[in-house]
């Protein structure tokens, strides 16, 4: 099960990389890259599965529930921004994309720095 857990961690990180890269690519033309939507869904779903596996004791270690709750709130905010930006391209500005990029970087920083 550790191999499955490791693969899910890789997919989770790739999902956040897709969000961050898609937003940075979209800054040039002030558009929301379609890959951003797929990346945020990948990151959100794999994150939930990872927490479930770790909480059940099947793989990984017991997660810090406060940290996970904070990361989930940030991930849901990023997801909401991406979904709204996808449905209403007229609201997407450089600041909007910067907000998505900032929240994505914040989520990764919380994962790495919060012990």
CA distance 30 to 42: 23
> In terms of Cα–Cα distance, which of 98, 111, 82, 92 is closest to 30?
92
Residues of the chain with pLDDT under 70: none
- At residue 90, the pLDDT reads 95
Query: Count of H helices and E strands in the chain?
Result: 4, 0
């Amino acid at each position: 099960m550790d191999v499955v857990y490791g693969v899910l961690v890789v997919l989770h990180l790739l999902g956040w990389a897709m969000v961050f890269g898609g937003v940075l690519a979209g800054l040039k033309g002030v558009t929301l890259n379609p890959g951003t939507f797929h990346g945020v869904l990948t990151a959100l779903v794999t994150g939930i599965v990872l927490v479930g596996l770790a909480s059940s004791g099947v793989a990984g270690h017991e997660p810090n529930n406060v940290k996970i709750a904070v990361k989930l709130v940030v991930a849901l905010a990023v997801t909401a921004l991406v979904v709204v930006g996808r449905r209403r391209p007229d609201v997407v500005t450089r600041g909007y994309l910067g907000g998505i990029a900032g929240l994505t970087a914040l989520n990764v920083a919380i994962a790495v720095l919060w012990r």
